[in-house]
């Protein structure tokens, strides 16, 4: 347990440093460039990368901008402590016609996933579980899962047994079938409400997962 607690303490420290870094960036004078603050640059081949392949990133990102899939983006590839690719595309402010800058500050979401995945992989390296393990091995409520699919008539939905259980690997690569609820059919929301699955039950499940990892 002491080792697991050490891991989460380490993650908390890393997260705190990240927050302080972002706060420091936001508090700086906007006339001071933030590009390449800490990492030196290098030609791709100097760090074992391909210039030709990295140029494909430029083409794809510019295509996304031209097709209006995204207003703009900043891409960076670093290896062996050196930046080999760093480019800005599109607009950072369409209304005011401001082009994207390399030091543009973005609002980021889902920042807990990196830390959670890091903790999981540290435990995996020590042999506490296999990536192919079903999560029901640790959380019995996920045993014998069912899935929500269109009916044969196509005008409604039905629940059928899943062909396999959700694995830890699927949780890590976002292929578990679990949903945030965005874009789901109305019928699914009605079933969740009928089953009494609300915010309180989700929070209790999260707490159960946390206790599980601490006791591994």
In angstroms, the Cα distances linking 138 to 108, 145, 204 are 31, 14, 15
Structure tokens of 34?
């933030």
In angstroms, the Cα distances linking 190 to 148, 184, 185 are 12, 11, 9
Would residue 96 be called left, alpha or beta, if left means φ above 0 and alpha means ψ between -120 and 50 degrees? alpha
With contact defined as beta carbons under 8 Å apart, do 89 and 65 qualify? yes
Active-site annotation holds for 110: yes
Q: Which residue in the list 27, 110, 152, 164 is annotated as catalytic?
A: 110
In angstroms, the Cα distances linking 167 to 14, 164, 170, 171, 176 are 27, 9, 5, 7, 7
Q: Using alpha carbons only, what angle is made at residue 37 by residues 40 and 79, rounded to the nearest 5 degrees?
A: 40
Which spans in 126-184 are helix H?
A: 168-172
- Catalytically active residues, by annotation: 110
């Amino acid at each position: 347990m002491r080792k697991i607690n050490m891991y989460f303490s380490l993650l908390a420290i890393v997260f705190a440093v990240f927050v302080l870094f972002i706060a420091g960036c936001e508090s700086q004078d906007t006339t001071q460039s933030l590009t390449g603050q800490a990492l030196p640059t290098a030609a791709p081949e100097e760090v074992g990368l391909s210039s030709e392949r990295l140029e494909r990133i430029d083409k794809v990102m510019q295509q996304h901008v031209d097709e209006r899939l995204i207003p703009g983006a900043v891409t960076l590839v670093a290896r062996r402590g050196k930046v080999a690719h760093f480019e800005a595309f599109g607009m950072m402010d369409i209304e005011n016609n401001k082009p994207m800058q390399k030091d543009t500050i973005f609002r980021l979401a889902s920042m807990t996933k990196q830390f959670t995945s890091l903790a999981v992989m540290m435990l995996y390296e020590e042999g506490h579980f296999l990536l192919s393990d079903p999560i029901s091995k640790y959380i019995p409520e996920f045993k014998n899962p069912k899935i929500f699919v269109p009916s044969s008539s196509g005008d409604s939905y039905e629940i059928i047994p899943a062909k396999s259980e959700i694995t830890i690997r699927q949780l890590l690569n976002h292929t578990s079938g679990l949903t945030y609820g965005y874009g789901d059919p109305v019928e699914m929301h009605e079933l969740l409400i009928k089953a009494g699955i609300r915010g309180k039950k989700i929070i209790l499940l999260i707490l159960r997962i946390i206790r599980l990892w601490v006791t591994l």
